[in-house]
């Protein structure tokens, strides 16, 4: 009888330990914004290029997340591929073990999918081709997709569409984002205004294939990502 009780105690302690381990997990939070406010789909915004625009779709891949600690040691996530979608708030929070004794000084990740995953056939999870982020006629992932409307576009329904990808050199459109932080309590801002401020929608409004245009807008998309530190107790 007594041994049975002991077993139960041990087992419950074990589960509690597992549970506490999970609970300690931390999150990488992406705040999708337009200037100072959270982005609202289909709301009209005006860019510095004087374009009035509305965002309908915004989805992007974050991959190969790496945290660099104050002592220069690194923590990288295995199989790190995440699809972040404006329509799915859960996707904007990536669970990652930030529970470290040392402070984080830098976060590094890729905007898009690397060439290895792009030639590996049908993959699962966020990389499953059902996610609508895989090109059919020319293999490869769409690293990020921005679709919307603007009165500046002389296109059908005034639509603009950016499907940016490409895994073959010289049009390998993946981009590395490196963000330094002063403490471990940070969130990542993704501000679409930073991209639309540096392009003119009357000139660039449709990118659907890998190539020079995609490479250029991939460079500009890097500007969207900034870090926002918060006070430790604000978490």
Partner 1 sequence: MKSKYTFIILIGSVLVFSLAFTFLKPTPIYFQIPKGWPKPNYDFSKNPLTEEGFQLGRQLFYDPILSKDSTISCASCHLQATGFTHVDHSLSHGIEGKIGTRNSMTMMNLAWSKSFMWDGGVNHLDVQALNPITSSDEMNETLANVVLKLRKNDKYKSLFFAAFGDENITGQRILKALSQFELMLISSNSKYDKVMRKEAVFTNQEQNGYQLFKTNCASCHSEPLFTNGNFENNGIPLDSTLNDIGRQRITEKTEDYLKFKVPTLRNIQFTNPYMHDGRFNKLTEVIKHYNSITNNKKVSKQLKKSMNLTDNERVDLVAFLLTLTDNEFLFDKRFVYPR
- Site residues for partner 1 per CB under 8 A: 118-124, 128-132, 134, 136-140, 211
For residue 204 the two structure tokens come to 């660039």
Find the helix or strand (DSSP H, E) in which 2 lies: helix 2-23
Q: Which is nearer to partner 1, 100 or 168 (CB)?
A: 168
Q: Which is nearer to partner 1, 20 or 116 (CB)?
A: 116
Q: Which is nearer to partner 1, 76 or 138 (CB)?
A: 138
CB 212 within 8 A of CB 206: no
Min CB(137)–partner 1 separation in Å: 5
For residue 21 the two structure tokens come to 């381990």
The phi-psi region of residue 65 (left if phi > 0; otherwise alpha if psi is between -120 and 50; otherwise beta) is beta
Min CB(82)–partner 1 separation in Å: 17
Q: Which is nearer to partner 1, 1 or 122 (CB)?
A: 122
Give the CA diameter of the chain: 81
**Who contacts 83 (Cβ-Cβ below 8 Å, separation ≥6)?**
59, 60, 61, 91, 126, 127, 131, 133
Min CB(116)–partner 1 separation in Å: 12
Q: Which is nearer to partner 1, 37 or 88 (CB)?
A: 88
Min CB(120)–partner 1 separation in Å: 7
Min CB(84)–partner 1 separation in Å: 18
d(CA 131, CA 121): 15
């Amino acid at each position: 009888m007594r041994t049975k009780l002991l077993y139960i105690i041990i087992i419950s302690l074990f589960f509690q330990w597992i549970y506490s381990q999970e609970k300690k997990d931390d999150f990488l939070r992406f705040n999708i914004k337009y200037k100072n406010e959270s982005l609202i789909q289909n709301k009209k915004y005006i860019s510095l290029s004087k374009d009035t625009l509305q965002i309908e779709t915004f989805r992007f891949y974050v991959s190969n997340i790496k945290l660099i600690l104050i002592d220069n040691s690194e923590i990288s996530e295995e199989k790190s591929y995440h699809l972040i979608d404006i329509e799915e708030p859960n996707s904007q929070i990536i669970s990652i073990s930030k529970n470290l004794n040392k402070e984080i000084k830098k976060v590094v990740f890729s905007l898009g999918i690397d060439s290895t995953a792009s030639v590996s056939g049908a993959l699962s999870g966020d990389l499953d081709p059902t996610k609508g982020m895989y090109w059919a006629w020319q293999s490869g992932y769409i690293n990020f997709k921005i679709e919307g409307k603007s009165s500046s576009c002389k296109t059908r329904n005034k639509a603009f569409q950016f499907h940016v990808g490409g895994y073959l050199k010289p049009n390998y459109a993946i981009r590395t984002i490196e963000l330094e932080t002063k403490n471990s309590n940070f969130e990542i801002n993704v501000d679409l205004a930073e991209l639309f401020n540096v392009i003119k929608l009357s000139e660039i409004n449709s990118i659907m294939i890998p190539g020079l245009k995609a490479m250029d807008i991939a460079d500009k998309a890097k500007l969207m990502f900034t870090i926002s530190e918060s006070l430790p107790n604000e978490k």
